[in-house]
Chain A
Amino acid sequence: MEFVSYLSEVFLPFNFLLLLLGTVGGLILGATPGLSPTMAVALLIPFTFQLAPAQGLILLGAAYTSTVAGGAVSAILLKIPGAPANIATTLDGHAMAQKGQGAKALQLSFLASAVGGVFGVLLLIFLTPILAKWALAFGPSHLFWLAILGVTVIGSLDSSSVVKGLLSGCIGLWLATIGFDDIMGAQRFIFHSALGGGINVIPALIGLFAIPQVITMFAKGRASTSAEIIVVHKSPIKTAIAEVFNRKRALAIGTAVGSFIGLIPGVGGQIAGLVAYDQSKKFSPERDKFGTGHSEGVIAAEAANNAMVGPSLVPLLTLSIPGSPTAAVLLGGLLIHGIFPGSDLFDNHPDVAWTFINSMLIGQVLMCVFGLYVAGLAASVARVPHSVMAAVVLGLAIFGSYSVQNSMGDVYVMASLGVAMYFLERFGFSAAPLVLGLILGPIAEANFIQGSMIANATSSVSQYFFTGPLNLTLIIIVVTSIGYSFWMELRNRRYTSKEEVME
């Protein structure tokens, strides 16, 4: 129960102010179509440089939590999911709004998000220290396989095409090798002076997530936002609270599915929401009402997509393996402050670790309270023209990436990667595995070299990397995830896309 002793840190005036700022800002950003939680967190990182590590993480954690929940506002009122995690919410949430129950749908979504989110963070609180101690048993070969696992799982499960997902991961791993080799000091793939120090992760993250969105907005041309905001009429909150707790089945399914899926690296909120929606429908006696504005659909989807937030950070905080693109961005935020996840984080920086985790717990409650108040404002922000949004995001991306090291080289890298990513995305490649490759590449390489040295001194390289229960377990998971994804691709089983929902 170590976390309790750090609870008061969250309520220090400046920390609490940051939490409020992150929560309210995240709700508004989340409601804005095109601004995904990952991109919002990436754009916020430059603003944390001058903050203490715990304060920076409070801001980023609050933004992560509330952007996921904020996406429900545009999903319900505009039929445009603010983030992929809110796709399932659109199915019943918008139908409820059309029936004049917009306020109730918003209340249900924020209440279910809070319940799911609190459960997810509690899971993070109780699982993380145990796994962090267990992580001490990991040697270089295991950490190498874990890094490869992170890239392959996200590459195969998060992408529409397994081969292109894995290829994206390989591109990321290759980009991570650019610069000077750590051991020999040799130059690798440096064909421009801007790449001399390698690719800085933060500008790369900003470019990979923000610039494709900017170009996507350009691609829409001068089209105005056609979506009509549905007017929200007041609805008593007591009714919504009673409804959420009367729909225990949907709430439990959403929370359980979201928490479980959050623990699996790479699976993400979109799948959590859709699987919870699907399972809730299967187990409901009122399954025929799903899709027509049924409250169970909203509750299951929103409980799931927020329940996955906490558990998605477990692999990051224990093993340094980000379980999702947003967790990868958070890892970048940690490394900037010289903090390495794992047992070191809990042994040497418990104040940072627990203040961050506690802030996510309190943030869930704030998100629920403020969500109901800022929903109207957030929906209006969601109608900001693409032209303004594109120019604002572009400006933030350029200033943000420059401010990392006051270097134009970082701006060039950010823009080049971002433009290339837009075109790659148009042909089925995905940013998430590329980012994971870029972040996990140095971890994989360092452990591979270290493992090779140990192997040369003790046994053979193949024996060191391919034997032992932990190595074999990790290899089996890598192979299974790739095999499963191929099988799913052959069966043409794909999850509902944002475009399909909006039709």
Chain B
Amino acid sequence: MNDLPRNQHIIASGIVASVGIWVTYISYTQEPAAAFLFPRMISTVFAVLALWTFGKALMGRSKVGAGLSIAAIKNITPGLFITLIYVFWAAKALGFYTASTLTFFILLSIYDPNSHFKTRSWIKRIIITGGFLAVMYGLFAVLLKVYTPREIFF
């Protein structure tokens, strides 16, 4: 195993172990104790298994899971960033349909393998985005009658 996945395994299993210990601590310190009886059982097993996994990662014996390559991290970052903005801000602030349309178009533009220098590609992306918006509106607003935050535009 080279250093990149090994260090990543240590970080990932370290985070899981920290959560396990935190959950166990809360389970054993919060009141009323009767309400935490089941969480205590679960969290104890959780913490033990998480510490075992962390120990294996520290010794470089984590065999399963390839981690993340630098290329994958570079590819994921813009999409993930836009997704998180969409979910945690834009969907509510701009309205579901406006935010979805913008996000769809931006993601399509970032990850579409077609050229960014051809008008034809951009027209195609706009048409696909329009089609997507129409389908989502038809399904959720017209068919399922889900009232989503509208805010600006619609």
Please list the residues of chain A having a beta carbon within 8 angstroms of any beta carbon in chain B: 46-47, 49-50, 160-161, 163-164, 166-167, 170-171, 173-174, 177, 181, 183-184, 186, 188-189, 214-215, 217-224, 385-388, 390-392, 394-396, 398-399, 402-403, 406, 408, 411-412, 415, 419, 423-429, 441, 444-445, 448-449, 452
Whether A164 contacts B37 by the Cβ 8 Å rule is no
A167-B46, A188-B39, A444-B38 known; A428-B111 Cβ under 8 A: no
Of A222, A399, A424, A444, the residue contacting B111 (CB under 8 A) is A222
Of B32, B53, B86, B112, the residue contacting A186 (CB under 8 A) is B32
Q: List 14 A-B contacts (CB under 8 A).
A: A160-B65, A166-B49, A167-B49, A170-B20, A170-B49, A186-B35, A219-B75, A387-B111, A394-B86, A399-B148, A402-B96, A406-B146, A426-B65, A427-B9
> B42 → chain A, closest Cβ, in Å?
5
> A480 → chain B, closest Cβ, in Å?
18
Whether A163 contacts B49 by the Cβ 8 Å rule is yes
- Can you name 14 extra interface pairs (CB under 8 A) apart from A167-B16, A399-B148, A427-B64? A47-B139, A164-B64, A170-B42, A170-B46, A215-B76, A218-B78, A219-B75, A388-B112, A398-B100, A402-B91, A406-B148, A415-B84, A415-B88, A428-B62
Please list the residues of chain B having a beta carbon within 8 angstroms of any beta carbon in chain A: 8-9, 12-13, 16, 20, 23, 26, 30-32, 34-39, 41-43, 45-46, 49-50, 52-53, 56, 62-68, 71-72, 74-76, 78-80, 83-84, 86-88, 91-92, 96, 100, 103-104, 107-108, 110-113, 128, 132, 136, 139-140, 144-149
Whether A395 contacts B100 by the Cβ 8 Å rule is yes
Interface of B is mostly: helix
Q: Report the Cα distance A173→B47, complex, angstroms.
A: 13
Q: Report the Cα distance A46→B53, complex, angstroms.
A: 37
Whether B144 contacts A387 by the Cβ 8 Å rule is no
Q: Report the Cα distance A164→B52, complex, angstroms.
A: 10
Q: Which residue of A lies closest to B146 (CB)?
A: A403
Q: Which residue of A lies closest to B22 (CB)?
A: A189
A47 surroundings in chain B (CB, below 8 A):
139, 144
Q: Report the Cα distance A85→B36, complex, angstroms.
A: 40
Q: Report the Cα distance A419→B87, complex, angstroms.
A: 12
Q: Report the Cα distance A428→B66, complex, angstroms.
A: 8
> B76 → chain A, closest Cβ, in Å?
5
> B34 → chain A, closest Cβ, in Å?
6
Whether A390 contacts B107 by the Cβ 8 Å rule is yes
Whether B144 contacts A46 by the Cβ 8 Å rule is yes
Q: Report the Cα distance A392→B128, complex, angstroms.
A: 10
Of A217, A406, A408, the residue contacting B92 (CB under 8 A) is A408
Whether A218 contacts B23 by the Cβ 8 Å rule is no
Q: Report the Cα distance A183→B38, complex, angstroms.
A: 12
A170 surroundings in chain B (CB, below 8 A):
20, 42, 45-46, 49
Q: Report the Cα distance A448→B83, complex, angstroms.
A: 40
Q: Report the Cα distance A94→B49, complex, angstroms.
A: 41
A171 surroundings in chain B (CB, below 8 A):
16, 46
Q: Report the Cα distance A399→B135, complex, angstroms.
A: 12
Q: Report the Cα distance A408→B78, complex, angstroms.
A: 23
Q: Report the Cα distance A412→B126, complex, angstroms.
A: 28
Whether A174 contacts B34 by the Cβ 8 Å rule is no
Of A219, A395, A403, the residue contacting B104 (CB under 8 A) is A395
B62 surroundings in chain A (CB, below 8 A):
427-428
Number of A-B contacts defined by CB within 8 Å: 189
Interface of A is mostly: helix
Whether B140 contacts A403 by the Cβ 8 Å rule is yes
Q: Report the Cα distance A77→B110, complex, angstroms.
A: 28
Q: Which residue of B lies closest to A160 (CB)?
A: B64
Of A174, A219, A385, the residue contacting B113 (CB under 8 A) is A385
Of B38, B86, B144, B147, the residue contacting A177 (CB under 8 A) is B38
B30 surroundings in chain A (CB, below 8 A):
186, 188
Q: Report the Cα distance A174→B13, complex, angstroms.
A: 17
> A54 → chain B, closest Cβ, in Å?
19
Q: Which residue of B lies closest to A166 (CB)?
A: B49
Whether A427 contacts B12 by the Cβ 8 Å rule is yes
B100 surroundings in chain A (CB, below 8 A):
395, 398-399
Whether A399 contacts B96 by the Cβ 8 Å rule is yes
Whether B42 contacts A174 by the Cβ 8 Å rule is yes
Q: Report the Cα distance A385→B109, complex, angstroms.
A: 12
Q: Report the Cα distance A403→B36, complex, angstroms.
A: 32
Whether B23 contacts A223 by the Cβ 8 Å rule is no
Of A160, A223, A392, A429, the residue contacting B132 (CB under 8 A) is A392
A415 surroundings in chain B (CB, below 8 A):
83-84, 87-88
> A47 → chain B, closest Cβ, in Å?
7
Q: Which residue of A lies closest to B36 (CB)?
A: A188
Whether B144 contacts A49 by the Cβ 8 Å rule is yes
A452 surroundings in chain B (CB, below 8 A):
37
> A494 → chain B, closest Cβ, in Å?
9
Q: Which residue of B lies closest to A181 (CB)?
A: B35
Whether A214 contacts B112 by the Cβ 8 Å rule is no
- 4 closest Cβ pairs, A-B complex: A428-B65, A428-B64, A387-B111, A218-B79
B38 surroundings in chain A (CB, below 8 A):
177, 444-445, 448-449
> A202 → chain B, closest Cβ, in Å?
14
> A408 → chain B, closest Cβ, in Å?
6
B42 surroundings in chain A (CB, below 8 A):
170, 173-174, 177, 441
Q: Report the Cα distance A222→B112, complex, angstroms.
A: 6
Whether A427 contacts B111 by the Cβ 8 Å rule is no
